[in-house]
C-alpha cells in the first residue's frame, strides 16, 4: 500500500513541542452525540463553531466513538462562512482512534490507519493536529504500543502532527506513558484524562503529575470537569445520560446533595464546578500545560477540554476561562487590569470556600473513581475482525496519492480566548 511521503528537499522545519502551540482551552464535541442529546443533528453546530472561532477558541476535540460528532464538526468547519474567514492552519483539530463502540476496540495498525484517514475525510482536512488512542485501559499494553507506533508512522507521512493516549484510570495512564517512553525511546506528546480533576475527584494531582513528568509527557489535558454531567443541577439521572453514566447510585445522590450548597450561595453547581476546575487546573496542570503570551515568558497554563452543546455554554466558559487567566497575570500599573485580576482572585477564594463545604458533604465519595473497564469486560471485537477495514475507498484514495511535500505550518494560534 502506498502512502504520502515527505519530499526530503527542502526539509520540513523542526517540529516544535506541543506545549508551544496547543491552545489552553479546547472545545470538546462529545456532546455532538446521542449520549448527551436526543438528536445531535438538531444542535446549532455551525453557530457554535463559528462563535467559538470568533471568541478566539482555536481547538476542537472529537472522536469517531462520539457517534456523528466528527461529521457534524467537520461539516461546520467546511461551511463557506467558516472557510472564507478561517484558514485550516489557524485552528487545532484533535481526534481519537481505537474505540469502535462502547464495548468494541480495535488497536491494530491496520484499523488505526483506516480510522485516522477516515477522520480526515469526515473533518475535511488533509491532516490532524493531535490523535489519541482512545480509552487505552480497555486493551493490553502491547496493543497500545503497536497503535502508538502506527500513529507515529502516520505522523512521519504528514497525516498527523502529535501523538497521545486518553483514558479514565490515572495510574494506568501514567504506567502506559512510562512504557511508551521506555519501549520506544520517545515520550508521548499528550495524555488526556477525564473526570479526575473535578470538585468530586482530584486524583489527577501532584503525584500523578510527577509520574507524567518522569515519563517526559509534554502536555497533560483535563477533560470532563462536570463528571460527564454528574456535577450539574439536573444530575446524571436526568436526560440521556441516565442510561449509560457509569457512576454508582450513591455517588449520584451525593452529587445532587451539592446542589443546595451552591444555591445557598446564589450559585449553580455547574458554575461552581467549572470555575473551580478551570481555575485550579490552570495552576496544577501548568507544568504540563500550554504557553500563553498573557503570562511571562516560559510560564504555562493547564490545558482544559470543555464540552459544549450551545452558544450560551460556550460564551460562559470563555468568560470564565478569560477571568481565570486574569488571575494568573502578574501585577501591573494598569488600573482596570488590576481590578480584573483582583476580582478573579476574590472569585477564586469564594469558590474554594464553597467547594470545601461540598467536600464535607461528599464524604467517602470524594476522590471516588469507578472501575474502567467494569470487572469481567470482554472486548466484543471478534479476533477474525481485528484489522479488517471497510471497502469504502478511503484506504485506496490515500494509496493513490502521489508522493508530495507535506507542509504543515506551525499554527499562529491565539493563546487565550477573548470576550
**Positions marked catalytic:** 66
Partners of 167 in beta bridges: 193
Do residues 278 and 318 make contact, with C-beta atoms less than 8 angstroms apart?
no
**Residue from 156, 179, 190 nearest 285 by CA:** 190
Q: How many other CB atoms sit within 10 Å of the CB of residue 118?
A: 19
Stated length of the chain: 419
48 burial (CB, 10 Å; 0-12 / 13-18 / 19+) is buried
d(CA 272, CA 249): 22
Partners of 25 in beta bridges: 304
- What ranges make up the beta strands (E) of 37-125? 59-61, 92-97, 99-101, 104-105
Only one residue has cell 467537520, namely 74
d(CA 258, CA 272): 10
Only one residue has cell 469526515, namely 122
Do residues 221 and 304 make contact, with C-beta atoms less than 8 angstroms apart?
yes
Q: How many other CB atoms sit within 10 Å of the CB of residue 11?
A: 8
For residue 82, give Cα distances in angstroms to 23, 51, 357: 19, 10, 44
Q: Rounded to the nearest 10 degrees, what angle do helices 311-328 and 45-54 cross at?
A: 20
Residues 6+ apart with CB under 8 A from 344: 323, 324, 326, 327
H-assigned helices in 201-268: 206-214, 249-256, 259-264
Cβ burial 360-372 (10 Å sphere, 16+ → b, else e): eebeebeebbeee
Do residues 194 and 154 make contact, with C-beta atoms less than 8 angstroms apart?
no
Amino acid at each position: 500500500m502506498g502512502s504520502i511521503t515527505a519530499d526530503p528537499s527542502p526539509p520540513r522545519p523542526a517540529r516544535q513541542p506541543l506545549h508551544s502551540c496547543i491552545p489552553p482551552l479546547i472545545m470538546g464535541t462529545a456532546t455532538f452525540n446521542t449520549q448527551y442529546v436526543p438528536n445531535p443533528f438538531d444542535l446549532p453546530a455551525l453557530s457554535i463553531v463559528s462563535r467559538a472561532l470568533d471568541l478566539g477558541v482555536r481547538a476542537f476535540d472529537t472522536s469517531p466513538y462520539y457517534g456523528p460528532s466528527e461529521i457534524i464538526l467537520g461539516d461546520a468547519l467546511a461551511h463557506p462562512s467558516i472557510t472564507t474567514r478561517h484558514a485550516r492552519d489557524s485552528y487545532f483539530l484533535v481526534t481519537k482512534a481505537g474505540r469502535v463502540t462502547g464495548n468494541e476496540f480495535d488497536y491494530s495498525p491496520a484499523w488505526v490507519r483506516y480510522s485516522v484517514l477516515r477522520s480526515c475525510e469526515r473533518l475535511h482536512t488533509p491532516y490532524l493536529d493531535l490523535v489519541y488512542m482512545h480509552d487505552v485501559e480497555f486493551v493490553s499494553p502491547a496493543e497500545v504500543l503497536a497503535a502508538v507506533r502506527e500513529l507515529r508512522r502516520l505522523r512521519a507521512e504528514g497525516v498527523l502532527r502529535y501523538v497521545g493516549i486518553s483514558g479514565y484510570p490515572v495510574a494506568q495512564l501514567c504506567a502506559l506513558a512510562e512504557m511508551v517512553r521506555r519501549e520506544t525511546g520517545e515520550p508521548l506528546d499528550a495524555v488526556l484524562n477525564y473526570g479526575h480533576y473535578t470538585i468530586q475527584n482530584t486524583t489527577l494531582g501532584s503525584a500523578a503529575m510527577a509520574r507524567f513528568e518522569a515519563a517526559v509527557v509534554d502536555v497533560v489535558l483535563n477533560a470532563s470537569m462536570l463528571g460527564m454531567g454528574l456535577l450539574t443541577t439536573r444530575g446524571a439521572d436526568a436526560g440521556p445520560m441516565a442510561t449509560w453514566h457509569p457512576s454508582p447510585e450513591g455517588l449520584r445522590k451525593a452529587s445532587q446533595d451539592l446542589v443546595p450548597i451552591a444555591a445557598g450561595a446564589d450559585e449553580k453547581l455547574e458554575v461552581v464546578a467549572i470555575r473551580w476546575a478551570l481555575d485550579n487546573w490552570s495552576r496544577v496542570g501548568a507544568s504540563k500545560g500550554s504557553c500563553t503570551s498573557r503570562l511571562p515568558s516560559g510560564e504555562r497554563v493547564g490545558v482544559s477540554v470543555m464540552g459544549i452543546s450551545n452558544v450560551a455554554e460556550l460564551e460562559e466558559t470563555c468568560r470564565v476561562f478569560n477571568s481565570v487567566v486574569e488571575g494568573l497575570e502578574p501585577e501591573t500599573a494598569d488600573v482596570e487590569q488590576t481590578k480584573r485580576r483582583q476580582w478573579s482572585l476574590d472569585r477564586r477564594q469564594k469558590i474554594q470556600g464553597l467547594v470545601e463545604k461540598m467536600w464535607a458533604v461528599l464524604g467517602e465519595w470524594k476522590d471516588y473513581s469507578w472501575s474502567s473497564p467494569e470487572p469481567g469486560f470482554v472486548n466484543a471485537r471478534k479476533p477474525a475482525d481485528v484489522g479488517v477495514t471497510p471497502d469504502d475507498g478511503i484506504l485506496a484514495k490515500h494509496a493513490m496519492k502521489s508522493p508530495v511535500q507535506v507542509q504543515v505550518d506551525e499554527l499562529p494560534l491565539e493563546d487565550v480566548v477573548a470576550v
